[in-house]
Amino acid sequence: MDRGVTIGLLGLGTVGSGVIRIISEHQAELHHQIGCPVEIGRVLVKDKLKQRDFDIDELKLTENAADVLTDPTINVVIEVMGGVKESRQHITDALRNKKHVVTANKDLMALYGAELLKVAEENGCDLFYEASVAGGIPVIRGLTEGLASDRITKMMGIVNGTTNYILTKMSEDGRDYEDVLKEAQALGFAESDPTSDVEGLDAARKMAILATLGFSMNVDLEDVIVRGITTVTTEDMNYCEQLGYKLKLIGLAKRKDGRAELTVQPMLLPLNHPLAAVQNEYNAVYIYGEAVGETMFYGPGAGSLPTATAVVSDLVTVIKNMRLGVSGRSIHSPLHRKQLQTDEDIESKYFLRLHVKDETGSFAALTSLFAKENVSFEKLLQWPLEEEVKTAEVVIITHTTNRAVYERIYKALEDMDVVIDVKSSYRVEGGQS
């Protein structure tokens, strides 16, 4: 092993170039950690002739994946090419060729993680994926190593930098969603097609990965209830802050009595909650354990070097396992059978913004509906809308109720004669776990 470890790289984009830079510039630190040099062997690229803004031996570049996956001198394959279909096949082939794998591919791990981990176990190989969630924040390692002895009951976090940047600027500058989205795209914080980010799908994939690890339960992507930020307005954000809350896109995984709840949606957090202070493109994950209590992981959630740092950290662990002769032994089947909470199990407070007829009996009709369902008001604002004759705006934060009850109330509000429009509705989180 002292002769060194050779790496094969699949992909040479933003993250791949960061991996090469760290390996080349941090050789002394890596050698100190693992006791041998690390060398880049072959690199799969789409176009060998493409101009690149960093130095790399062109003889190491290939457009044929087999040059990486079947090369007997390559010990570890790092997958940073993205996508699902090709990456799934490449990782499977690498594992079957007895090569350890490190990946940053959240989409792939959310959909096929259990399958690929099984292939890794069957072939005595390691498969690590720290960089698939929250970029450079070591939250996966925190769950699997730092909190391994604890029983995790809740994980909630801001795990998508694009949406957090958009909501931050909407709140700070009073600008609408479409305006800030265009700015985020111009700055490179949002893709030209931002659907995966703004509709909450990217965050949902990350929460599925975290819940699988944190709860030791095989969670599927379709188990996550998802709602994005495209309907959030600056008016909503202003009312939230008046009432002492900040509106954030939150990924939430909770476990109670062996049953899990998984969701990604815009939520109100108290202004004094640590996640409420996470701004711009930064990520943070808040974890509750029965023994440790509350912990938070915070840092840059994306970018070339932060994500590459997580990839190379996994690489260090792989090489240490190789030197100790314990490769593949860290992979374990989930301990618990998947059980999901029902709507009757899921409890929280809710924020509602309504336009109602400003006439005698309107407020009495509203309170009667909530009283019928045994739901009381924690906070309430009401005033006439000057631009709309005989129309009032009502903003409510309820006391805790379950989702089934709230859905009945919401549907009844839409059908009420005194309610002109249900303008917005959000969950309120961040109190006692």
φ, ψ of residue 360 in degrees (nearest 5):
-60, 130
Q: Is 206 known to be catalytic? A: yes
Q: Is residue 51 within 8 Å of 40, Cβ to Cβ?
A: no
Q: From CA 74, how far away is CA 101, in angstroms rounded?
A: 11
Q: From CA 69, how far away is CA 60, in angstroms rounded?
A: 14
User: Can you list the pairs that 166-169 forms with residues at least 24 positions away whose Cβ atoms lie under 8 Å?
Assistant: 166/190, 166/198, 166/229, 167/229, 167/232, 167/237, 167/247, 167/248, 167/249, 167/266, 168/279, 168/280, 169/280
Torsion of CA 233, 237, 243, 248, to 10 degrees: 120
- Kindly name the residue from 106, 154, 206, 246 that is annotated as catalytic: 206
Cα distances (Å, whole numbers) of residue 406 to 7, 192, 354, 396, 413: 53, 36, 15, 13, 10
Token pair 């600056």 in the structure block, residue = 234
Q: Is residue 135 within 8 Å of 80, Cβ to Cβ?
A: no
CB neighbours of residue 28 within 10 Å: 8
Q: So which residues are the catalytic ones?
A: 206
